A and B are shown apart, each in its own frame.
Chain A
């Protein structure tokens, strides 16, 4: 008898604790600040991050990334790649409905592929989908795509947002109502959009993964970072991305510690100094390595990012599956830099403090885009460091559109200070393959290496993750040795959120991957707006 009682008590305790831990409250609202307004709610025809972020809560893809940046099913329950790598078959989740009540089927997936390759669709992202030779929907819950040759990055392309066929088919997409009023399958439904001011979303009760806990999400457009920060302080915002300065200097107050929680993780992007390899001075590997030794990356992180970042060693995000931590590094070593430059024929023969070769002093211009203070400051620090080894650097900033059109696309630069986004898929073909070293293409530094070409082609054909990883590791080793860029730093993303929001669990993917699981205790909820 005592045994039974003890067991009962234990059960009761377990049940209570389970209930306590699992109890989350539904309801409440959350307001986020964004620098730019969305341009359209059809993400495949936009290229700005605001549009993608806002419509991201309304739509789903066939696949998505989990917290560790692995591909998992979203609207597709599962997928299989044929042994020859030429066919991908998606099994579509059953019972999913669009927010207007219509069922989501494989026909929608097929329509979305057709939409992407349609010449009338003004999208910048058609490339990956045009590699599909044939797509079909043999039944309601199966979607099959065929390729001519294995294309491993293609898998990631099926994170493609799924748009409702019944609302978009046969329409001029630019005149479509969905531009302003999205209808998706996602956790949030669209409520309203005041252009230039705000976008309001509300939870979709029939979401296939269960309702999102927070009832209403509002994005407020505030184009000025200082204003946004004041709004945060006055309670007008619950969430914004901080600048390094705000993170370090303006939020270390008791008020902030009480009302907000700051997060810090590596962003998906890196900053680099790229050399024009058609320029004879930079064609010599030793010169590029020397410049990499001469630039103090730690100093850049300390000075520009106030310590909120990490040294970058190559084009893959540190800490992820594809990142090779064992590549050649270039710690700050001016003596070594001078030695390498001397070996390449650069010496100060006339005693003016500048290195020279064949009577020409070593001086070049670093070009960067206007409006990015991090890059401008980085340039100044690099300029200072290089002057110490006898290299004179000039800095020039140009407005973005002109920068691209007149300088990058035409290869009219000596060195550029820029950044790349790091995608979860490690395909680097467009940036490093020699076939892309053409005017207007992305290999604008004209880097050519037959071994790299081979690896880039091979990894695209390799679905086996382990094998592909080995190739990507090798790629990083070669790039680290060749230094076509001096890889500088990966900055931290610095979001700050109101302390009342619970359920946030930072991971390699950032914080918003589990947004639907966030919640606010009943007592702290701000009321959601009536419809």
Chain B
């Protein structure tokens, strides 16, 4: 198992460098540069000022040199400073924003698992029942509903009409004056809508997926064997079948890790959450190369780690993978 892990980790380094190289190239090939946005269509902008900015950002150097400088800094985990006027270190910016994005996504992922797996299993084992049909309808509704629309409806209902939950942000204006428990409750109230809604979007897919897997597994010979041995149905389903049915779900979970950042843009905009998705999106629009590259590296690492975790999860539930 350890050799397997070491091999997988070693493979990640060249992969990561390859990803950064391609990202760097594409980012710089995109039309527009950070100086344009500060200076273009600005009557007070002189040509000299523009040249100065280009030089200050190091954009006057050839691309390979820029990439090499960036890579060298990355080796010591220095992501450089943002091109945004405040010139904050990229790492600080990401550290400010990443925790909230990861929290929301992990919570919603957890929620999805807790809800989707039982729904999937129950639908599969009670195929054609009223519950199964009802969840089918629910799932199609879930697929068809635009999230932003649903989010606005929920905000109107719970925020404006009923006044139960805050509409946006992650903490109240008087958050700092609250007691420790009060602060936790404040966070929870703010996170309720974003987490529930982002879970809702994945719920449909995941429960359907779980149902499909389960159906496939319970038709397998070993399940029939287990039943023939006289094992109780609960044991057959939850111990023998579920474990195997979960394997593809683990893969999906691993693959959904990188989507955490990209998929957060819409939610973070609607709910005014200062997270990673919004930071990354704004950086791309402003051609803030250091922040974009920082985000991409984090995204790439998350992807690779996600894949690794999925594979490890696989190895854990399926000994054949380990022995290969």
Interface residues on chain A, number (Cβ under 8 Å): 62
A114 at the interface (CB under 8 A from B): no
Q: Which of B14-22, B44-52, B71-79, B242-250 lines the interface with chain A?
A: B44-52
Is residue B179 contacting chain A, with contact meaning CB distance below 8 A?
no
Asked if residues A405 and B36 are in contact (CB atoms below 8 Å), the reply is: yes
Residues of B within 8 A of A119 (CB): 52
A514 within 8 A of B: no
Residue of B nearest to A406 (CB): B31
Is there an interface contact between A221 and B287, defined as CB atoms closer than 8 Å? no
CA distance A420 to B52 in the complex (A): 25
Q: In the complex where A126-B48, A174-B81 touch, is A529 in contact with B174 (Cβ < 8 A)?
A: yes
Contact for B96 among A195, A227, A236, A409, CB less than 8 A? A195
Subset of 5 A-B contacts with CB under 8 Å: A47-B85, A180-B88, A197-B171, A400-B32, A442-B41
Residues of B with C-beta under 8 A to A123: 49
Digit string of B158-192 for contact with A (CB within 8 Å is 1, else 0)? 01100100111111011011000000000000000
Nearest CB in chain A: distance from B140 CB, A: 26
Chain B residues bordering chain A, tally (CB within 8 A): 59
Among B50, B53, B274, point to the contact of A194 (Cβ < 8 A): B274
CB distance from B44 to the nearest CB of A (A): 5
Complex CA distance for A173 and B88, rounded to whole angstroms: 11
**Residues of chain B within 8 A of A373, CB atoms compared:** none
Chain A CB within 8 A of B270 CB: yes
Q: Is there an interface contact between B56 and A405, defined as CB atoms closer than 8 Å?
A: no
Whether a CB of chain B sits under 8 angstroms from the CB of A130 is yes
7 further A-B contacts with Cβ under 8 Å, apart from A196-B279, A227-B155, A430-B43, are: A123-B49, A124-B39, A126-B52, A196-B274, A197-B274, A222-B168, A230-B159
B156 within 8 A of A: yes
Supposing A130-B48, A197-B272 touch, asked if A404 and B155 sit within 8 A by C-beta, the answer is no
Pairwise interchain contact B44-A174, C-beta atoms closer than 8 A: no
Q: Which of A47, A120, A175, A180 contacts B56 (CB 8 A)?
A: A120
Asked if B272 and A39 make an inter-chain contact with CB atoms under 8 angstroms apart, the answer reads: no
Residue of A nearest to B279 (CB): A196
CB-based contact A230/B36 at 8 Å: no
Which of A127, A399, A400 is in CB contact (< 8 Å) with B45? Answer: A127
List B residues at the A interface (Cβ < 8 Å).
30-33, 36-50, 52-53, 56, 81, 84-88, 93, 96-97, 152, 155-156, 159-160, 163, 166-171, 173-174, 176-177, 268-275, 278-279, 285, 287
Closest chain-B Cβ to A238's Cβ sits at a distance in Å of 11
- Is A11 in contact with chain B by the CB < 8 A criterion? no
Q: Chain A: residues with CB nearer than 8 A to chain B?
A: 31, 37, 39-42, 45-47, 51, 119-120, 122-128, 130, 173-175, 179-180, 194-198, 218, 220-224, 226-227, 230-231, 233-234, 236, 399-402, 404-406, 408-409, 418, 420, 423, 430-431, 440, 442, 527, 529-530
Q: State the 7 A-B residue pairs at the shortest beta-carbon distance, nearest first.
A: A401-B32, A196-B274, A174-B87, A40-B85, A127-B46, A40-B86, A402-B31
Q: Min CB distance, B178 to chain A, in Å? A: 11
- Inter-chain CA distance A310–B38, complex, in Å, is 29
Q: CA A402 – CA B287 in complex, angstroms?
A: 11
**A227 contact from B40, B168, B176, Cβ within 8 A:** B168
Q: Which residue of A lies closest to B152 (CB)?
A: A226
Given that A196-B97, A196-B279, A224-B272 are contacting pairs, would A39 and B85 also be in contact in the complex, using a CB cutoff of 8 Å?
yes
B318 to chain A, nearest CB (A): 42
Q: How far is the CB of A528 from chain B (nearest CB, A)?
A: 10
A180 to B44 CA separation, bound complex (whole angstroms): 25
Whether the pair A179, B86 counts as a contact (CB closer than 8 A) is: yes
Nearest B residue to A46 via CB reads: B85
| A197 neighbours in B (Cβ, 8 Å) | 169-171, 272, 274
Rounded to whole angstroms, the CA-CA distance of A163 and B176 in the bound complex is 30
B87 with A401: CB separation less than 8 A? no
Assembled-state Cα–Cα distance A405/B44 (Å): 18
Residues on A with beta carbons closer than 8 Å to the beta carbon of B278: 196, 223
Q: What is the CA–CA distance of A325 and B270 in the complex, to the nearest angstrom?
A: 43
Given known pairs A122-B85, A179-B85, the reply for A431 and B36 (CB within 8 Å) is no
Using A40-B85, A401-B32 as known contacts, say yes or no to A233 and B177 having CB atoms under 8 A apart: no
The answer to whether A175 touches B272 (Cβ under 8 A) is no
Contact status A442-B43, CB under 8 Å: yes
Chain A nearest Cβ from B266, distance in angstroms: 9
Question: Smallest CB–CB gap between B267 and chain A, Å?
Answer: 10
Asked if A405 contacts B87 (CB within 8 A), the reply is: no
Q: With A and B bound together, what is the CA distance between A130 and B50 in angstroms?
A: 14
